[in-house]
Amino acid sequence: MPAEYNGTTGTADEGYSSGVHDLNIFYDTGHMVFLTVSSVLVLLMIPGVGFFYSGLARRKSALQLVLLSMLSLAVISFQWFFWGYSLTFSRTGNAFLGDLSQFGLMKTLGEPNGSAYLPDILFALYQGMFASITPALAIGAVADRGRMLPALVFIFIWSTVVYDPIAYWTWNANGWLFKLPSYDFAGGGPVHIASGTCGLAYSIMLGKRTGYSSNAGLPYRPHSVTNVVIGTTFLWVGWFGFNGGSALGMNIRAIMACYVTNLAASCAGITWALLDYRLEKKWSTIGFCSGAISGLVAITPASGFVTPWGAVIIGVCGGVCCNFATKLKFLIGVDDALDIFAVHGIGGMVGNILTGVFGASYIAGLDGNTYNPIGWIEHNWVQVGHQLAGICAAFGWSFVLSCLILFLMNLVPGLSLRVSADDEDVGIDDCQLGEFAYDYVELTRHVADSPGQVSDRTLSSSSSTANERAVHEKAVPGTV
């Protein structure tokens, strides 16, 4: 059994104040291994987001979305070290935001944080993966028309002024939503509502893709269903660390969180596939993958609080609500190319509300602690109101601040958000990366690379466009 931590608590501390040189005596290696593996699983989700978005996008903009997801990891890894972790999980902040007492991860080593089972540095690693995947979910809004450099600058600023405060309100013991309480086990508000709303704001500020209004919303089929399936698989597997690891220890609550996560995703995937089947009488792979993701999103805030039968209801409701929410962009006239708001924004809201309905203290207590009654099934009628407060706070803060950041950035020389019309026609991979997702495109460029031939850019554009027209002949109703 590990020794009880006997150093300074309540303030940032290296962990040496106990006078013990071997800090490992305070922690069980099983708990630390579990959280380390969970961190790796959440990291796996980040390229999963890139593959999922890339498969849904057009061929000539596919590589950008994979690269942006990885760059999100890189940018936020630095931001989290620099001041993100301190702003979110410092012990001495106010009700709204943390301070810089752990700036640059100073005094962040062996003192427990988040849980008595975890040293500060492991908690920082795990939560840093959450901070990294959140802007990766949102930045898919640049599809087909957004520039790279402004997207990277936006990721750093947005994480600092939007994600960090919302995560602080929700998970830091000093945060106002934590004290309310508004229950959110693994990130329905800070991760999904915030990223989905950010994606909506980014789509509005970028404007519609060229030809959107005259072509029924550019109803292209996803260019690579295989990539979508691969991305879904990475996300589904990684979500076990995302939700299970949020128990912050290897206990039965973590196992239950993993079980209900898989169950909700399965039910939502079947639900979405059936909803699409009613339209064309065909089974849609994209529909199943989209549904599975919507179920994973919806169960995220509830995973540490609900029974398996509650997870079935949450999965079905998440699949239905997110499926129909894909039509919202046509209603409000926003070109949300990858339906980020429909899946993550609406899915997070559904999950947060249903946490207030199906949350059970005896499920939360599987981690060995005692909890007050949580949801309506335990006659705690006010909880849905508290959950709605969390939803409104995350949506309002993310939408307003995202729009403001993007508006101001667009005024700065060199940080204009959108590529030119010619570059949009050529394709983002060509004009912004100079690389392509598929070898045959590069081969076509080099075959014609001789004097008197058309330019590489023009040829690659016409080749890409011709292939897209051959593949994207009609839309698949109800898919993201």
Phi and psi for 208 in degrees, rounded to 5?
-75, 150
pLDDT band at 439 (very low <50, low <70, confident <90, very high): low
Ranges 55-64, 123-132, 210-219, 372-381: which has the least confidence = 210-219
Examine residue 214 and state whether it is found in any structural domain, yes or no. Answer: no
pLDDT score at 446: 47
Ranges 145-154, 331-340, 442-451: which has the least confidence = 442-451
Radius of gyration of the chain from its Cα atoms, rounded to whole angstroms:
23
pLDDT score at 217: 60
The domain containing residue 388 runs over which residues? 29-96+111-206+232-433
Q: Mean pLDDT of all residues in the chain?
A: 90
Integer Cα distance of 422 and 431 in angstroms:
9
Examine residue 444 and state whether it is found in any structural domain, yes or no. Answer: no
Residue with tokens 């899946």: 343
For range 23-47, the mean pLDDT:
96
User: Is residue 480 a contact partner of residue 284, using CB atoms and an 8 Å limit?
Assistant: no
pLDDT score at 14: 87
Exposure on the CB side of residue 166, measured as CA atoms within 13 A = 34
Integer Cα distance of 446 and 460 in angstroms:
10
* pLDDT per residue as tens digits for the range 190-218: 999 999 999 999 999 999 988 777 666 66
Q: In this structure, what token pair is assigned to residue 199?
A: 């994606």
pLDDT score at 64: 95
Examine residue 227 and state whether it is found in any structural domain, yes or no. Answer: no
SS3 for the chain is CCCCCCCCCCCCECCHHHCCCCHHHHCCHHHHHHHHHHHHHHHHHHHHHHHHHHHHCCHHHHHHHHHHHHHHHHHHHHHHHHHHHHHHHCCCCCCCCCCCCCHHHCCECCCEECEEEEEHHHHHHHHHHHHHHHHHHHHHHHCCCECHHHHHHHHHHHHHHHHHHHHHHHHCCCCHHHHCCCCCCCCHHHHHHHHHHHHHHHHHHHCCCCCCHHHCCCCCCCCCHHHHHHHHHHHHHHHHHHHHHHHCCCCHHHHHHHHHHHHHHHHHHHHHHHHHHHHHCCCCHHHHHHHHHHHHHHHCCCCCCCCHHHHHHHHHHHHHHHHHHCCHHHHHCCCCCCCHHHHHHHHHHHHHHHHHHHCCHHHHHHHCCCCCCCCHHHCCCCHHHHHHHHHHHHHHHHHHHHHHHHHHHHHCCCCCCECCHHHHHHCHHHHHHCCCCCHHHHHHHHHCCCCCCCCHHHHHHHHHHHHHHHHCCCCCCCCC
Q: Which residues pair with 119 in a beta bridge?
A: 112
CATH number of the domain that residue 198 is part of? 1.10.3430.10
For range 261-265, the mean pLDDT:
98
Residue bearing the bigger pLDDT, 63 or 467: 63
Letter string b/e over residues 438-475, b meaning 16 or more CB atoms within 10 A of that residue's CB: beebeebbeeeeeeeeeebbebbbebbbebbeeebeee
Integer Cα distance of 168 and 92 in angstroms:
12
* pLDDT per residue as tens digits for the range 410-421: 999 999 999 998
Report whether pLDDT(222) > 70.
Answer: yes
pLDDT band at 1 (very low <50, low <70, confident <90, very high): confident
Neighbours of 72 (CB within 10 A): 27
Integer Cα distance of 170 and 183 in angstroms:
8
Letter string b/e over residues 118-157, b meaning 16 or more CB atoms within 10 A of that residue's CB: bbbbbbbbbbbbbbbbbbbbbbbbbbbbbbbebbbbbbbb
Report whether pLDDT(453) > 70.
Answer: no
Integer Cα distance of 371 and 376 in angstroms:
15
For range 42-51, the mean pLDDT:
97
For range 303-321, the mean pLDDT:
97
For range 245-268, the mean pLDDT:
97
Residue with tokens 């290296």: 14
pLDDT score at 29: 95
Biggest distance spanned by C-alpha atoms of the chain: 78
Q: Which residue type is seen at 73? A: L
Examine residue 477 and state whether it is found in any structural domain, yes or no. Answer: no
Q: Which residue type is seen at 334? A: V
Residue bearing the bigger pLDDT, 94 or 455: 94
pLDDT score at 452: 45
Residue bearing the bigger pLDDT, 259 or 281: 259
Phi and psi for 305 in degrees, rounded to 5?
-130, -15
Nearest alpha carbon to residue 235 among 289, 167, 302? 289
Cβ-based neighbours of 155, under 8 Å, separated by 6 or more: 71, 72, 75, 76, 135, 139
pLDDT score at 127: 98
Report whether pLDDT(457) > 60.
Answer: no
pLDDT score at 306: 97
Q: What percent of the chain has pLDDT over 90?
A: 77
For range 6-13, the mean pLDDT:
85
pLDDT band at 9 (very low <50, low <70, confident <90, very high): confident
Examine residue 264 and state whether it is found in any structural domain, yes or no. Answer: yes
Examine residue 450 and state whether it is found in any structural domain, yes or no. Answer: no
User: Is residue 419 a contact partner of residue 426, using CB atoms and an 8 Å limit?
Assistant: no
What's the pTM? 0.90
Cβ-based neighbours of 110, under 8 Å, separated by 6 or more: 7, 14, 15, 16, 23, 26, 119, 120, 121
Domain count, the chain: 1
Phi and psi for 19 in degrees, rounded to 5?
80, 10
Report whether pLDDT(23) > 80.
Answer: yes
For range 457-470, the mean pLDDT:
45
For range 100-108, the mean pLDDT:
95
Nearest alpha carbon to residue 133 among 243, 44, 63? 44
